[in-house]
Amino acid sequence: MVSEKMKPFMANNSAIRAMFEEGKKMAAVYGAENVYDFSLGNPNVPVPEVNEAILEIVKEEAFNALHGYMSNAGFEDVRQTIAQSINERFGTSFSEKNLIMTVGAASGLNVILKSILNPGDQVIVFAPYFVEYDGYVRNYDGEVVRISPDTETFMPKLDEFEEKITKRTKAVIINNPNNPTGVVYGEDTIKALAAILEKKEKEFGISILLISDEPYRELAYGVEVPYVTKYYHNTVVGYSYSKSLSIPGERIGYLVIPDEVDESGELITAASIANRVLGCVNAPSLIQKVIHYCIRHKVTVNVEAYEKNRDLLYHALKEDGFTCAKPDGAFYLFVKSPVADEKEFCETAKKHHVLMVPGSSFACPGYVRIAYCVSHEQIERSLPAFREIAREYGLLK
């Protein structure tokens, strides 16, 4: 009954999701307070203004206008407000036409990839990366080309990138700030990346779309996250409010397709249609209005809470003898496994009720991802378990 294309997905089902389901089972057995689940990027910092927005909107807006169909690209006023907000913050000049509201960033990526990919087109990604990208690309018969990880800095290996661009390269996906490493690509990196893309576009006479996946844009700890459309003409930005408003279950985000993109008008039309034909039809309507409210009321998540978590866990793990690059953004630590097979390390950690995700799920074996978007108390409670694990591996002198 199941299609051939779905079978590989079933064989390699998301380790993150499997861990999430396992965490729920373990919590039922041992009690939630005794399981240290660092598996899923499920934000824990509430943004109460989201609820205030919902209450106000439901009371004030007419029922059918609020819950009814609108254009497939989303409410015009919502898109206009978002465009203005981006323009004010980053000096861009988008209008509502450049914005398409999507069912989260994951759906936005699907929409843009469906809009551009022909079978066999190559999409370049930089390891480590969110391997769901592989599925999104395969959905449209594209081929993922991986750039190997620079495990010193976790910045993109630009030499290898330049070598691997071919005539079949249709798109490049970057994720900034990065999941799973938390590193932030600065202006120099983006400029260098753009220069390579421009050179290769000329060399091969092709258009290469740079897709910047930015759900963690607002979660940066004192560093600038460059707005990529300003550095490279063929850039599309995928955004999500999952992390910046702590509402991943609500599925709301957008695509920005600038006028500077080749055949921009056609691409915008294609993306609006793809949004409909893939079955989303439009992003959820009430939550679109919530975004409108939150922008007008300058609502932001408490980034300091995540920074405090990072500091506590990062320093504790360093003291325990673990190796880890200090992240500048997102809410992940990417820790070197003390043994080559990081899945074994994860299994050992699980015995101590610590759940983390193997790096092989990010095309970077030998590392594990720890999502610290949990309560500060969970981190505090988990520290003795991490210390035990460090002892078991002889990391503590």
Binders in 262-321 for its own copies, by CB under 8 A = 262-263, 266-267, 269-270, 273-274, 276-287
49 contributes a contact to its own copies by CB under 8 A? no
Stretch touching its own copies by CB under 8 A, among 130-138, 178-186, 191-199, 383-391: 130-138
Stretch touching its own copies by CB under 8 A, among 132-140, 188-196, 295-303, 318-326: 132-140
Residue 389 CA: distances (Å) to CA of 43, 180, 255, 320, 323: 25, 21, 42, 9, 14
Amino acid, res. 375:
S
Q: How far apart are CA 3 and CA 222, in angstroms?
A: 47
111 contributes a contact to its own copies by CB under 8 A? yes
| Burial group, residue 152, by CB count within 10 angstroms (0-12, 13-18, 19+) | exposed
Comparing CA positions, the residue from 339, 341, 372, 366 lying closest to residue 354 is 372
Q: Could you tell me the smallest distance in angstroms from the CB atom of residue 199 to its own copies?
A: 19
Of 70 and 316, nearer to its own copies (C-beta) is 70
Q: Could you tell me the smallest distance in angstroms from the CB atom of residue 303 to its own copies?
A: 16
- Tokens read off for 208: 């290469």
18 contributes a contact to its own copies by CB under 8 A? no
109 contributes a contact to its own copies by CB under 8 A? yes
Task: Candidates 22, 27, 80, 135: give the one binding its own copies (CB under 8 A).
Answer: 135
44 contributes a contact to its own copies by CB under 8 A? yes
Task: Candidates 200, 217, 243, 251: give the one binding its own copies (CB under 8 A).
Answer: 251
Q: How far apart are CA 333 and CA 181, in angstroms?
A: 6
Contacts of its own copies in 196-215 (CB under 8 A) = 207, 209
Of 259 and 392, nearer to its own copies (C-beta) is 259
Task: Candidates 36, 72, 176, 345: give the one binding its own copies (CB under 8 A).
Answer: 72
Amino acid, res. 25:
K
Residue 109 CA: distances (Å) to CA of 43, 171, 230: 21, 11, 20
Of 82 and 101, nearer to its own copies (C-beta) is 101
Stretch touching its own copies by CB under 8 A, among 210-218, 257-265, 299-307, 363-371: 257-265
Of 116 and 228, nearer to its own copies (C-beta) is 116
Report which DSSP code applies to 45. S
Stretch touching its own copies by CB under 8 A, among 96-104, 325-333, 346-354, 356-364: 96-104
Task: Candidates 107, 176, 189, 309: give the one binding its own copies (CB under 8 A).
Answer: 107
Task: Candidates 81, 98, 115, 235: give the one binding its own copies (CB under 8 A).
Answer: 115
Q: Could you tell me the smallest distance in angstroms from the CB atom of residue 352 to its own copies?
A: 24
Q: How far apart are CA 36 and CA 352, in angstroms?
A: 9
23 contributes a contact to its own copies by CB under 8 A? no
145 contributes a contact to its own copies by CB under 8 A? no
Of 91 and 279, nearer to its own copies (C-beta) is 279
Comparing CA positions, the residue from 96, 83, 107 lying closest to residue 283 is 107
Task: Give the ranges where 68-178 is alpha helix by DSSP (H).
Answer: 76-90, 104-116, 132-139, 158-164
Q: Which residues, in sequence order, are CB contacts of 18 under 8 Å at separation 6+?
A: none
Report the SS3 class of residue 209: strand
Query: Strands 209-213 and 143-147, how do they pair?
Result: unpaired
